[in-house]
Amino acid sequence: MTSTPISALMGIDLGTSSLKTVIVTLEGQVVATAAREYEVTMPQPGWAEQLPEAWVEGTLAAIREVLDAARVSVGLEPAQVRAIGLSGQMHGTVCVDVQGRVVRPAIIWADQRSGAQVARVMSEIGPERLGQWTGNPLATGFMLATWLWLREHEPEMVRRTKTVLLPKDYLRYRLTGEIGTEPSDAASTLLFDTARCVWSEPLLAVLDIDVGLLPSVYPSAAIAGKILPEIADATGLLAGTPVIYGGSDQAMQALGHGVIAPGVLSSTIGTGGQLFAPTSSPAYDPQVRLHCFCHVLPGMWHLESAMLSAGMSLRWLRDTVFSGTPYREIADAAASIPPGAEGLFFLPYLVGERTPHMDPRARGAFVGLTLRHGRAHMARAVMEGVVFGLRQGLDLMLGLGVPVARVVASGGAVRHPLWLQLQADIFNRSLYRTETVESAAVGAALLSGVGVGCYTDAPEAVRRTVHWQGSVIEPVSARVAYYAELYATFCTLYPALTDLFHSVPAAG
């Protein structure tokens, strides 16, 4: 058995498909992990909901497991957990009543039902004013759009609602009994003035939304409350353990990889796909194709490019074409096919798309399919299509003058070399990796350490805990040139098919 650490930190990441919990030493060693899965329910086509109680049950079970594992691995006792931080899926809406009880299932980020409300806001307010008030485009699944849908379709639920919370903020409320939020996640609601870090009074006034529905906003690293006695009894934690406000999963993942300063870009391929570029001032895309959210560091923001179906596209292919074949075998098959998949392209818009199209009615498509193409070609085309989509976000950032000196790979896709090489070749940039595992949960743990004084600030936490892998994935010049040609063709496909996508009725 190794020596017992003097202090440790806990991070909890409330994801879309599962909750992950880690215990980390102050030097960044992950000594234990635990996870619990839960379902996304789809009561109607295009809807996506979750039961908040499933998040709570999963959290309690994961905390028990991770504490037991840390006790076995390093002899850690609950009293040595100095603080707990939370990371969470963005945009979603949890409605609670005056007694703090959930009014209805949570509507999460992947939900598409609010398309009419998005169109109405964009028509009545317009992208220019929306950008001035929030710094962001509006998309389905965001709290603003969801709340407008609820107000129109479920007025009784709205009448019973006292407060609307983001997912991780509801979970933290259940752990501490305290209600509040912080800027990185609040910015993702589209009810927030990202530049000023306050709720957007002009927007709320125009849409007749009572600011009293929204929780107070506190710094991400501030202490939000303490573990309740009943939670301590259910988990083994020490009652009174500090819990910080935390942050959005993207900001926390970036912190876990040390992406906290301009010039470093995080490229994440998980269920969705994101590019994350820190900035020292709020940056605004006049055509509102990119998001500008607050970082968890004070006085920092980040530009974000968001794809809805990145790894989800490969999962769809696995489930429908490959009959459940493991992902590694699918990616190995794709690697056996030459770049360009012999003329086959894939548009990864299986649930609509955000960056750069902001179109919930966009649809997925294979283009160029012939009798020569088999499953391996389809796998290669899917993987290339995802990275082409990310490249469009990168081009938008570069067009705004955002410096990108280093790209850090993140997400489940780091497990296969083809995903990594595709990003290096298509982005035409060296790709770096850290040794951080479960980066969003680790980032949450690190920020909790900042909140209770284990680190002076986030830069010190990164210096002490983030370690870089020695190998760097370099772009191959011949493939860079070829992919540049293919990328130019890829960029023509969505405009050519837009009218067709919009004429196709929704699945029912």
Which residues are tagged catalytic? 249
Reported as half-sphere exposure (CB side, CA atoms, 13 A), residue 266 has a value of 31
Helix/strand/coil for 386: helix
Buried b (16+ CB within 10 A) or exposed e, 86-122: bbbbbbbbbbbeeeeebbbbbbbbbbbbbbebbeebe
Burial class (CB in 10 A: 0-12, 13-18, 19+), 464: middle
Q: How far apart are CA 266 and CA 275, in angstroms?
A: 6
Evaluate whether 175 touches 231 at the Cβ level (below 8 Å).
Answer: yes
Give whole-number Cα distances, 115 to 212, 336, 458, in Å.
25, 40, 38
Q: Which residue has the tokens 């008030």?
A: 133
Instruction: Give Cβ neighbours of residue 118 (< 8 Å, ≥ 6 apart).
Output: 138, 139, 140, 145, 360
What residue type is assigned to position 460 of the chain?
Answer: E
User: 125, 123, 126, 137: which is closest to 284 by C-alpha?
Assistant: 137
What residue type is assigned to position 421 of the chain?
Answer: Q
Three-state SS sequence of 207-238: CCCCHHHCCCECCCCCEEEECCHHHHHHHCCC
Q: How far apart are CA 34 and CA 23, in angstroms?
A: 9
Q: How far apart are CA 405 and CA 374, in angstroms?
A: 38
